[in-house]
């Protein structure tokens, strides 16, 4: 398999095997952030927005290590195959989780961490048995086997599992209760309970739709409090809705989800500064979606003026509002622009994407697809073990590989 995935997984496994050993100078607090669908264009977009606001993003505190290809057997990947590559260091077929192409189980770095008596947490703002988080605990031939994946989740023994519900859970929660899991469905409960292991099924509205309340950053902060112990922990965090927004070419919603992800990373960096010699933070993506690009000057005030997400758009149309009415409220399009752009029969998805691309052109960004792409994804690292700042064009991780070789 390509060297990049082996090095990402290798460095994390190294940290988990030797973590807490002063002689080996290996970290015992390990964060692994995955922006689902996030490419280099998204990071550039976020950095541009940070400069617009006169602040620094969390990425400015990270070392850019390089890029890694995500192709799956020559195919454009899905989140199951690319998630398995990140979690297990093994390339597999699209749709397969935690198994190699022949169906043989491949242990994940999270499972290795648990066997080494680290506490392990998985946090996502989408379903906790969605493909990317599931790659760390599930071993299934199909990502659509939601009930089986949910059972793998509660049988993993992981200490903390947080997400926006469980897709088709079957009797997983009942099985989990027998295995000692506390199940909570409210933020207040999640923020007050201290008993592990825990499954927390919480509300994670789109950033653009959220008026107030808790965020992915809130979940990471609480996750750190719950997982902290002398031995150490591995915390995997997915920004899952980045991918959702990119599938819809919804730049207004995308900016908010990137900000949520950025703030979650910042929470880990705040912790890392308290334990600089003992913390490792890795940030990457499973694949890129949309072939998203910044074309020139970006009209951020106009983007920030978008009042709600594509989900609210569909909810409003489903409730009987006209397409032109909702599009006018969402983007300010005049009535005469909407009929030709919305001339897509009875398919609201196609109508929305046509309108969203028109808005993207107006604000200075572009899309080439609504699907996944073959673009490489960026990898960033923070840790006192990695003091060098690398050039942007550094090819696949010689520095990380050297760190492994040196030990």
Going by pLDDT thresholds of 50, 70 and 90, the confidence category of residue 9 is: low
How far is the C-alpha of 42 from the C-alpha of 56, rounded, in Å? 15
Percent of the chain residues past pLDDT 70, beyond the cut: 85
Phi/psi for 311 (5° steps) reads -65, -40
Output the pLDDT for position 124: 98
Which residues belong to CATH 3.40.720.10 in the chain? 3-294+370-406
Q: What is the per-residue pLDDT across 330-370, written as a single tens digit (0 to 9) for each? A: 999 877 766 555 455 567 888 899 999 999 999 999 999 99
Q: What is the per-residue pLDDT across 177-191, written as a single tens digit (0 to 9) for each? A: 999 999 999 999 999
What sections of 250-397 are H helices per DSSP?
Answer: 251-274, 300-304, 310-318, 323-331, 338-341, 348-363
How far is the C-alpha of 203 from the C-alpha of 241, rounded, in Å? 13
Q: Which position has the higher pLDDT, 60 or 395? A: 60
Output the pLDDT for position 359: 96
Is the bond preceding 197 in cis, omega lying within 30 degrees of 0?
yes
Going by pLDDT thresholds of 50, 70 and 90, the confidence category of residue 324 is: confident
How far is the C-alpha of 283 from the C-alpha of 275, rounded, in Å? 18
Output the pLDDT for position 277: 87
| CATH number assigned to the domain with residue range 3-294+370-406, chosen from the 4 options 3.40.50.10490, 3.40.720.10, 3.90.1150.10, 1.10.287.130 | 3.40.720.10
Query: In which residue are the tokens 């309108």 written?
Result: 355
Contact by Cβ (8 Å): 119, 231: yes
Q: Which helix (H) or strand (E) holds 7?
A: helix 3-18
Q: What is the per-residue pLDDT across 98-109, written as a single tens digit (0 to 9) for each? A: 999 999 999 998
Output the pLDDT for position 389: 42
Q: Which position has the higher pLDDT, 345 or 316? A: 316
Is the confidence at residue 397, as pLDDT, over 80?
A: no
Going by pLDDT thresholds of 50, 70 and 90, the confidence category of residue 37 is: very high
Q: What is the per-residue pLDDT across 45-74, written as a single tens digit (0 to 9) for each? A: 999 999 999 999 999 999 887 788 888 877
Phi/psi for 175 (5° steps) reads -65, -40
Q: What is the mean pLDDT of the chain?
A: 87
Q: What is the per-residue pLDDT across 237-275, written as a single tens digit (0 to 9) for each? A: 999 999 999 999 999 999 999 999 999 999 999 999 999
DSSP state of 96: -
How far is the C-alpha of 173 from the C-alpha of 55, rounded, in Å? 43
Q: What is the DSSP track for 201-258?
A: E-----GGG-SSS--HHHHHHHHHHHH--SS-EEEEEEETHHHHHHHTT-HHHHHHHH
SS3 68: strand
Mean pLDDT of 113-139: 96
Is the confidence at residue 406, as pLDDT, over 60?
A: no
Is the confidence at residue 75, as pLDDT, over 50?
A: yes
Q: What is the per-residue pLDDT across 20-33, written as a single tens digit (0 to 9) for each? A: 444 345 688 999 99
Q: What is each CA distance from 69 to 77, 79, 128, 378, in whole angstroms?
A: 10, 14, 25, 9
């Amino acid at each position: 398999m390509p060297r990049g995935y082996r090095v990402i997984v290798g460095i994390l496994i190294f940290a988990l095997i030797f973590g807490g050993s002063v002689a080996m100078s290996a970290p015992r607090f390990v964060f692994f952030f995955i922006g689902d669908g996030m490419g280099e264009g998204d990071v550039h977009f976020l950095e541009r927005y940070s400069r617009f606001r006169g602040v620094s993003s969390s990425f400015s505190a990270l070392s850019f290590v390089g890029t890694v290809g995500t192709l799956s057997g020559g195919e454009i990947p899905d989140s199951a195959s690319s998630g398995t590559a990140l979690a297990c260091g093994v390339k597999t077929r699209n749709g397969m989780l935690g198994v190699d192409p022949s169906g043989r189980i491949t242990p994940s770095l999270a499972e290795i961490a648990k066997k080494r008596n680290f506490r392990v947490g998985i946090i996502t703002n989408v379903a906790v048995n969605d493909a990317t988080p599931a790659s760390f605990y599930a071993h299934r031939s199909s990502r659509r086997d939601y009930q089986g994946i949910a059972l793998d989740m509660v049988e993993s023994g992981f200490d903390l599992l947080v997400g926006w519900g469980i897709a088709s859970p079957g009797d997983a929660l009942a099985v989990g209760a027998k295995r000692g899991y506390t199940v909570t469905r409210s933020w207040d409960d999640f923020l007050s309970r201290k008993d592990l292991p825990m499954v927390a099924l919480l509300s994670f509205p789109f950033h653009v739709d959220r008026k107030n309340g808790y965020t992915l950053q809130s979940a990471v902060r609480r996750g750190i409090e719950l997982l902290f112990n002398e031995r150490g922990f591995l915390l995997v965090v997915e920004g899952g809705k980045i991918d959702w927004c990119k599938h819809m070419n919804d730049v207004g919603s995308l900016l908010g989800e990137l900000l949520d992800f950025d703030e979650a990373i910042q929470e880990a960096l705040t912790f890392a500064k308290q334990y600089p010699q003992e913390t490792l933070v890795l940030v990457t993506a499973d694949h890129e979606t949309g072939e998203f690009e910044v074309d020139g000057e970006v009209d951020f005030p106009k983007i920030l003026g978008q009042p709600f997400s594509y989900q609210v758009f569909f909810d409003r149309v489903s409730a009987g509002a006209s397409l032109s009415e909702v599009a006018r409220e969402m983007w300010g399009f005049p009535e005469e622009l909407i009929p030709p752009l919305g001339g897509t029969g009875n398919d609201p998805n196609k109508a929305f994407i046509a309108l969203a691309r028109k808005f993207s052109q107006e604000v200075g960004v572009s899309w080439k697809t609504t699907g996944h792409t073959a673009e490489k994804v960026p990898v960033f690292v923070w840790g006192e073990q990695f003091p060098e700042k690398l050039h942007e064009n550094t090819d696949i991780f010689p520095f990380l590989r050297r760190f492994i070789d040196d030990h």
